[in-house]
Amino acid sequence: MSIFDFFSKPATPKTHLVEVLSKTRQSFWSKLSKIIAGKSTVDSDVLDRLEELLIGSDVGVSTTLKIIGAIEQRVARDKYLTTSELDQILQSEAEQLLHVAPISNKDAIAPVHPHIILVVGVNGVGKTTTIGKLAAQFITQGKKVILGAADTFRPAAVEQLTIWGNRIGAEVVAREMQSDPSSVAYETVQQTIRNNADVAIIDTAGRLHTKVHLINELAKIKRTIQKCLPGAPQEVLLVLDGTNGQNAFLQVEAFTAAVAVTGIVVTKLDGTSKGGMVLGIVDQFSIPIKYIGVGEKVEDLRPFDPHAFITSLFHKW
């Protein structure tokens, strides 16, 4: 199955996405139904309570005010807005927020081969598992993939990546623990070029976004990759835990400042009621969500489709 085929067969994936977003959807709709109970039109009281609901759903203050402003404009234009129309305009506004232009590597003058992906994020977000799933999907497409174990501070991280490599048939470049992560990244890119591989995915240590010196080390890794292969890494993916809510905003801010993140992966959306954070992060940082994790299987790492996501989020049983 191609990595881009997950949403081309809408029946099964859509049904599954509806199910995995159930906690976020049910939490939101149960509270929204109480807000509009007994009301036929949207008034100031509904808007005030809706604002509180969106902020409480981890959408974020700035994005919430943008959505409320759009509804207020609609009310001013039409003189009224029925509560039955409220979910329609909410869905429309939410989907618009998720459509942002892809971010490309400005250092790349022309298409560069091989394709290098640098993966960053704090410990515990599912970073290494995401790398394994993504590599498996590339291999299914017939691409040759090499994995770089540049998290040299945790033996478990190298071991986990090696297990994934053995399972899916991807070579893993690793060195002894406490090695310079940049040297591992350099060797991974060199090995990818020598072996004429198509893709290299490089794991990094789970940096605490509050530790500036650790964050800065990621910038060193990126510079090393650029020296080895000008124009690379073509992608810098930040993995976020969907259960983290507002804390994820702080992580995005710190990592984008260090390594110019080009895309975001949100994991564990199947186990959280905080899926609203996706809206706020895309809106505030203008970084596209590239993949979402909605389960344990390899195919449960899916390319992000804004329409499918919002349709499932607003789906009513």
Helix (H, G, I), strand (E, B) or coil at 283: helix
Tell me what pLDDT residue 97 has: 92
Is the pLDDT at 110 greater than 70? The verdict is: no
Q: How many residues does the chain have?
A: 317
The three state secondary structure string of 75-93 is HHHHCCCEHHHHHHHHHHH
Least confident of 65-79, 115-129, 162-176, 201-215: 201-215
The residues facing 118 across adjacent strands are: 202, 236
173-180 average pLDDT score: 90
Pairing outcome for strands 263-267 and 289-293 = parallel
The rounded distance, in Å, linking the Cα atoms of 49 and 45 is 6
DSSP 273: S
- Over residues 49-95, the pLDDT tens digits come to 999 999 988 898 999 999 999 999 988 888 778 888 888 888 899 99
pLDDT category at 2 given cuts 50, 70, 90 is very low
Q: How far is CA 256 from CA 59, 214, 250, 285, in A?
A: 19, 14, 10, 9
Retrieve residue 258's tokens: 């260090």
Is the pLDDT at 12 greater than 70? The verdict is: no
Q: How far is CA 11 from CA 16, 25, 116, 165, in A?
A: 9, 19, 33, 32
269-288 average pLDDT score: 88
Is the pLDDT at 234 greater than 80? The verdict is: yes
The rounded distance, in Å, linking the Cα atoms of 297 and 2 is 15
- Over residues 251-271, the pLDDT tens digits come to 999 899 888 899 999 998 887
Q: pTM for the whole thing?
A: 0.89
